[in-house]
Amino acid sequence: MMFQRLFLLQFFLLLSSTTATAKLLHTIPRLSPTGPRVWRDHPDQISGEFVGEDFETFFYNQTLDHFNYRPESYDTFSQRYLINSKYWGGANVSAPVLVYLGAEEPIDGDLAAVGFLADNAVQFSSLLVFIEHRYYGKSIPFGSREEALKDASKLGYFNSAQAIADYAAIIIHIKEKLKAKYSPVIVIGGSYGGMLASWFRLKYPHIALGALASSAPILYFDDITPQDGYYSIVSRVFREATTNLRLAIP
């Protein structure tokens, strides 16, 4: 109990000291499902062009519809992904592949902000792959954002099942291209991207050895979990932390 209280106190102090700073750092990834949406609130940023010096950009000729057999299902679009091979040990030693699954925004901002992957790439001699989610950034079907969002028939392809099938196709393509058949793949994501990572591991266990989901409300849907569950837990932790903080301060 004492250890738990000390942990909560340290967490609260850290949170308090970093909140103001975080507001100034626009490169920090948004890991909240209720935060601002670049796609919705800032459409002028939809085609950002940031590319780190260690990343190489590629485009995969992606299938529009992975699950149906109508003529239009065989249409394709260019989906962007980026690779950083700076730390990779190579296919000959079956060095791992860390794949970041893009979420509801262009992939550009995540390249500079998600340092966790680079930190672990050094330790595990990993290949880094960042894949952009369909309908964001430069991965827009139908030629333009306006056309892609034009009507319900085109928006029907804008869903998470199609997105993780996209990721599966690109990962298989990369492993074949690099002759990395035996390199294990770990998929990684935060918030909605974390949900995608979890679902990817369940749907494609033959492709991903594991998944890391940060801040991912995987079961937070109607009639599955109590709808006040998240808020109740956060409120309880905050209440306990503030109480312990008052007790700790003379």
Tell me the per-residue pLDDT of 147-172, one tens digit each, with 9 for 90 and over: 999 999 999 999 999 999 999 999 99
How far apart CA 76 and CA 169 sit, in angstroms, is 13
Q: Are 95 and 20 in contact (CB under 8 A)?
A: no
Q: Classify 198 as helix, strand or coil.
A: helix
Give per-residue pLDDT as tens, 62-85: 999 999 999 989 999 999 999 999
Measured CA to CA in angstroms, residue 24 lies from 20, 33, 100, 115, 215 at distances of 7, 20, 24, 18, 21
Amino acid at 193: G
CATH number of 52-218: 3.40.50.1820
Q: Can you give the pTM of this predicted structure?
A: 0.73
How far apart CA 217 and CA 219 sit, in angstroms, is 6
pLDDT band at 114 (very low <50, low <70, confident <90, very high): confident
Residue of 178, 161, 55 whose CA lies nearest to 107: 55
Q: Which residues pair with 51 in a beta bridge?
A: none
